[in-house]
Structure 1
Amino acid sequence: MPNNHHKLGYSISLALGAVGFISVFFIHTQYILILSFILVGMAWASMNTYPLTMVTNTLSGEHMGTYLGLFNGSICLPQIVASLASFGLFPLLGNAQPNMFLLAGIIMALGAASVGFIKETDKA
C-alpha cells in the first residue's frame, strides 16, 4: 500500500475498533456482540501491521534490529502500564466490564484521531 494511504487506513481501522468497543456498552445480545468483536478484531489486525510498516519504511536498514526492538518496547511498556492501571480503574468505573469497554472505545477513538499527527517518511 502506498505511504499516502497508511495513515488513513490505520485511522479508519482504529475508528472501527472504537465503534466495536463502545457498542459493547450498549449491546447485550450475544449474537450481535459478534459484530462488535469483528470490529475490534479489525482494529487489532491493523495495530499489528500499520505501525510496523510505517517504522520499517522509515528505516534505511542499518541497525534495523535495534530500532525495531526499541519500537517493540514502546508497544509493550504501555500495555503493561495499562494492565496494572486497570486494577485501579475497574473499581472507579463501577466494577462493570461494559464500562471498561466504553473507556477503551473512547481511548481508541482518541488514538484514531491522533494518527494524523504521525509524520511518515520513506527511506526505501
Structure 2
Amino acid sequence: MGGNLIGIYSGLYCLVAVIVTIFLARLKKENFRIALSIAMFLSAFSFGMMYFAHDLIWMTIAFVIFGAGWAGLNIYPVTFITDAVSREYMGSYIGLMNVQICIPQIAASLLSVVVLPLFKGSMPAMILFSAFFFLAAAFSSLLIKNKDI
C-alpha cells in the first residue's frame, strides 16, 4: 500500500506545485526573496508534519503543503540566476546549478547506508532531521538583500 501511496502523493504535490507556480510567477520581483523563504518554511513544516502524521488525511495535507513549498524552491533559484547572468553564460550557470543539486543527492544516496543506522533505520526520523536543514536555509535566504538579486 505504501508504494501506491507515494506515487499518489508525488503526483499530488507536483499538481499543487504547478498550480502554486502560476501565482508565484505573478509576484513582484521585490517579493521573490521572501517568497523563497516562505517556500522553505513550508517545506520544513510539511516534513515535520510527515513525521508526526499517523493517518492519511494529515499525510495528504503535509504533501499539499510540500507542493506549495516545492513550487517556490523550483521557480526562484532559476529566476535569480537568469536575472543575474548574461545570455552568453546562461547555459554554464544553469548547468552549475544542476550540479549543486545533483552532487548532494548522490552523496546523500551513497551515505544513506551510514546515516540511516544513526536514526535506528527510521526514514521518518531522517525526514524530520531534514526539516531542520530547510529551516536553516529559510533563515539563510532572509540574509539575501534584494539588491543582490
TM range (shorter): 0.7 to 0.9
Runs of 5+ unmatched residues, structure 1: none
Partner of 1:74: 100
Paired position in structure 2 for 1:5: 31
What is the root-mean-square deviation in Å for CA atoms of aligned residues? 1.6
What aligned pairs does 1:10-29 form with structure 2 within 5 A after superposition?
A: 10-29=36-55
Deviation at 1:119, TM superposition (A): 4.9
- Residue 63 of structure 1 is aligned with which of 89, 112, 126? 89
The TM-score, its normalising length taken from structure 1, stands at 0.88
How many corresponding residue pairs? Answer: 122
If asked which structure has higher relative contact order (CA below 8 Å, sep 6+), I would say 1
* Aligned residues with identical type, % of pairs: 34
Q: What amino acid is the match of 1:28?
A: H
Query: Cα distance, 1:86 vs. partner?
Result: 2.2
Q: 1:119 to 1:61 in 2, by over 3 A?
A: farther
Q: Which runs of structure 1 show a deviation greater than 6 angstroms over 4 or more consecutive aligned residues?
A: none
TM-score w.r.t. structure 2 length? Answer: 0.74
Tell me whether 1:32 sits opposite 2:58 in the alignment.
yes
Deviation at 1:58, TM superposition (A): 0.5
Q: Which amino acid aligns with 2:135?
A: A
Deviation at 1:83, TM superposition (A): 2.1
**Superposed displacement of residue 116, structure 1:** 1.9
